[in-house]
Structure 1
Amino acid sequence: MLSKSSLTISSPTPNPEKEDVMNWFTSKTNNLQKLYVIKALRSGMFSIAIIILFFKQHGLSMREITLLQSLFAIAVLLFEVPTGNYADNYGKKKSILIGGCFSVSGYVAYSLSSTFLGFLTGEILLAIGFCFVSGADSALIYDNTEQDQEGNQSFIKTEGNGGSASMFSEAITSFIGGSFLALVSLRFPIYFDVLLALTVFPVALSLHEPEKTEEEKQQQKEERESSITKMLRIMKYSLHGHVEIKWLIIYSAVVSTSTLTMVWFIQIYWMAAHVPIFMFGGLWATLMCVGALVSMRAHVIEKKLKRKRSLIALIVLPVIAYVLLGLHVAWWSVSFIALFYVVRGMNNPIMKSYINGLVSKKERATILSVQSLIGRWMFAIIGPCIGWVHDVYSLQIAFAVCAVLFATMGFIVLMFLHKNRLL
């Protein structure tokens, strides 16, 4: 006969790891961690290390490839500020979720396309997705940083950590995509880009946006009724009404254009230097790690160099790199490309910190969107021109043009920064 004790049903043993995961998603105190994860998931791209080869496989020239990126930039021009304004008025969390939907759609379009028009459809959808998140995530990071610590150094460190998470993510995904997935086909990594874009949603849904006071809610309601007016007012303020913000935005645009232009020529340079294709993934991952490590230490670098030398370094390093790469197209000169990623790691956390310190909380997302808008506008003009120079003349001539162009633009803006006592 069974004893009473033998009939006792034991309760299921709790799984601590599962509970930790659930607690992480439901917690309202780890927003910064979640924003880092979102930045990492959004920045990961399995196809990036071989994307130029993919375009070339489908018959696109460098002029057409850079034109695609220029049209992406123009789409960003059209949507950047309105979506930043949407984030300010209706919620940054909602903006990030909407951006995720467009990003998934863009990668799906890319995975099904093989023509210029098909790729353009994907680029436009990705541009809209980028716009909805651009500014909203950095503004949320700044809002959460202020709740814990005051001061720009705190934001530089926090934004730098977010930037490093993005670059480490791209390093891992580019290595996997370029070294393994691309062995199946050059299109195969794009299917994984679709899956990765979907993983943003559960994390974004768990974000906790800081509660607004009744006064802020009423003010927000009034602002919704005149959001276009507000958007135009902030644009005018940032580019005309506030001289410090204006020249910092323009300088940030010059720096970001100087590095973004090179991004689309890296794989062309590797091919010209006879780097084996199977090494593309590892090399791209290495560059991302360089940028990530610099981004993590951006607050330390800025503190040591101070404002003046930090700003000057942001344009001097890319110009030096263009000169060196133009003089020596060889496998050993590939290391010079790392200078661009040093700047990419420094630029966002430092420049966004300087700009954020000059604007009010309710306008940050819109002004950060203006910053991104000006950079994209500049690349939309310069990118296809450099692509044309490459197709008509040579890669070395294209790099020489870049060196002269960005040195001139950077010097002019630095003079205005000095004139307005920003150096």
Structure 2
Amino acid sequence: MNNRKNIYLMYVIIFLQGFVFYGPVATLYRQARGLSMSEIFLIESISWILMIVLEVPWGLFSDRFGYKKTLVFVNVLFLISKIVFYIASSFILFLLERILLAIVFSGLSGCDTALIYSSIEEDEVQSVFGRYSAFGTLGFLLASILSSFIVAVSLDYTALFTIFPYALAGILTLLLDEVNGDSKVKPKFKESFKQAFNDKSIILFVISIALIIEVFQSTTVFLNQAQYLKSGIDAKYFGVILAGIQLVRLFSVKSNYLSKKLGNCKAIILLYFLVTLCCIVLIFTANPIVSVTTIVLISFSVAMIGPIEIEIKNKTIRTSNRATILSIYSMVASLIASISNIIIGITAEQSLEMGFRTCSMMSILAFILMIVYFKLVKEKITKM
């Protein structure tokens, strides 16, 4: 199926949802409202656990009732979560915001990918998803630039102004076309789970990706701001730095070129190595240029990995219950992420350096698992 309308609408929706004006100062915003670093990571971990519980039910719902209905509902909740974030001033309200986001992310997980994948030709997967990622990055880039000006007026305004683009994104979701032609079929969880891990090696891939994404999340969202302050960078420059980082993430559109040049295996291994090296450097440096450069490289590497990851996962699925299987993959990833998040949070509370040491060890483990995965895939192809 080739539905260009869906593709273009999803580009615009992800672009609008990139306008998170509080992104560059998210940790500082929460701390200004009374949260400690350990409370921030605790809330994040609770959110991950809830996502684990909701992932598969949402996938089953999407496959049965349609991708559009699911996206409409979760994007409305997305808007509500931004409103709650703006009014939050206590642990309970910030926890509520993350609970809403857990519902949203578990609903979006697999569903947006399944809708786009069902609207394009198989040979354009990496290019389309590369652009999809880039549009989200572009929105966040513009928001990061504007954030510097908004912060100068009021930290609170960064949360307030985020509400409006999310309202527009929710409206545009109503214009999507439904593509789930098998929605009347009731997929069974046990059957879907067996299908998801029919090839046992895919679980190594899923765990590896989950670890590297958690490292990316921790280093570029939570630990980076403390690292900038340690390096002597004023908070007013955080928005500019984040804008530069997001600009680099636009190279995700070139992921297809990199994988064609090196192959999926070599491309991912190279990018993993870069993430690991940067985490190790961050343990020891207090230099502002080195600090920003390593964070940029981590963000760039994971942005390039994204489209390759999506292609590999989707090509393993040969059944109609695509959203359910993708949700199962996400459920496993969320489990790994929640455990990893708690560990990083505990170690980061002791010291920033300990936080980066933990990220380095997780990157090394992810690196090893990915090498083993590709080795098993190669052996399987050789036997065929």
Q: TM-score per shorter chain, which class? A: over 0.9
Describe how 1:277-356 pairs up with structure 2 within 5 A. Answer: 277-292=235-250, 294-333=251-290, 334-356=292-314
Distance of aligned partners of 1:36 and 1:191 in 2 relative to their CA distance in 1, 3 Å threshold: same
CA RMSD of superposed structures (Å): 1.9
1:186 shift after superposition: 1.8
Q: 1:66 aligns with which of 21, 32, 41?
A: 41
For 1:277 and 1:338, locate their aligned partners in 2 and report how far apart those are by CA, in whole Å. 17
- What is the TM-score with the length of structure 1 in the denominator? 0.84
Q: Which runs of 4+ in 1 moved over 4 A?
A: none
Identity of aligned residues (%): 25
What's 2:345 paired with?
Answer: 387
1:155 aligns with 2:125: yes
For 2:345 and 2:184, locate their aligned partners in 1 and report how far apart those are by CA, in whole Å. 46
1:193 aligns with 2:162: yes
Range that drifts further, 155-164 or 270-279: 270-279
1:398 shift after superposition: 1.9
What's 1:176 paired with?
Answer: 146
Return 5+ residue gaps in structure 1 as ranges: 1-27
Distance of aligned partners of 1:36 and 1:290 in 2 relative to their CA distance in 1, 3 Å threshold: same
For 1:133 and 1:298, locate their aligned partners in 2 and report how far apart those are by CA, in whole Å. 23
Partner secondary structure for residue 162 of structure 2: helix
For 1:237 and 1:130, locate their aligned partners in 2 and report how far apart those are by CA, in whole Å. 23
1:341 shift after superposition: 1.2
1:40 aligns with 2:15: yes
Distance of aligned partners of 1:409 and 1:295 in 2 relative to their CA distance in 1, 3 Å threshold: closer
1:29 shift after superposition: 4.3
1:222 shift after superposition: 4.3
- Does the CA-based 8 Å contact 1:61-1:391 persist in structure 2? no
Partner secondary structure for residue 362 of structure 1: coil
- Does the CA-based 8 Å contact 1:92-1:209 persist in structure 2? yes
Give the number of equivalent residue pairs.
376
1:110 aligns with 2:110: no
Q: 1:128 aligns with which of 103, 110, 127?
A: 103
For 1:200 and 1:61, locate their aligned partners in 2 and report how far apart those are by CA, in whole Å. 32
For 1:372 and 1:174, locate their aligned partners in 2 and report how far apart those are by CA, in whole Å. 28
Range that drifts further, 323-332 or 397-406: 397-406
1:414 aligns with 2:384: no
Amino acid paired to 2:110: G
What's 1:205 paired with?
Answer: 174
Partner secondary structure for residue 175 of structure 1: helix
For 1:138 and 1:222, locate their aligned partners in 2 and report how far apart those are by CA, in whole Å. 20
What's 1:119 paired with?
Answer: 94
What's 1:399 paired with?
Answer: 356
For 2:205 and 2:369, locate their aligned partners in 1 and report how far apart those are by CA, in whole Å. 13
- Does the CA-based 8 Å contact 1:256-1:347 persist in structure 2? no
Return 5+ residue gaps in structure 2 as ranges: none
- Does the CA-based 8 Å contact 2:63-2:323 persist in structure 1? yes
Amino acid paired to 2:174: L
For 1:190 and 1:32, locate their aligned partners in 2 and report how far apart those are by CA, in whole Å. 28
What's 2:74 paired with?
Answer: 99
What's 1:249 paired with?
Answer: 206
What's 1:17 paired with?
Answer: none
1:96 shift after superposition: 0.6
- What is the TM-score with the length of structure 2 in the denominator? 0.92
1:164 shift after superposition: 0.4
Distance of aligned partners of 1:186 and 1:235 in 2 relative to their CA distance in 1, 3 Å threshold: farther
- Does the CA-based 8 Å contact 1:238-1:367 persist in structure 2? yes
1:221 aligns with 2:196: no
Is the radius of gyration larger for structure 1 or structure 2?
1
Amino acid paired to 1:180: F
For 1:326 and 1:33, locate their aligned partners in 2 and report how far apart those are by CA, in whole Å. 42
- Does the CA-based 8 Å contact 1:257-1:375 persist in structure 2? no
- Does the CA-based 8 Å contact 1:253-1:371 persist in structure 2? no
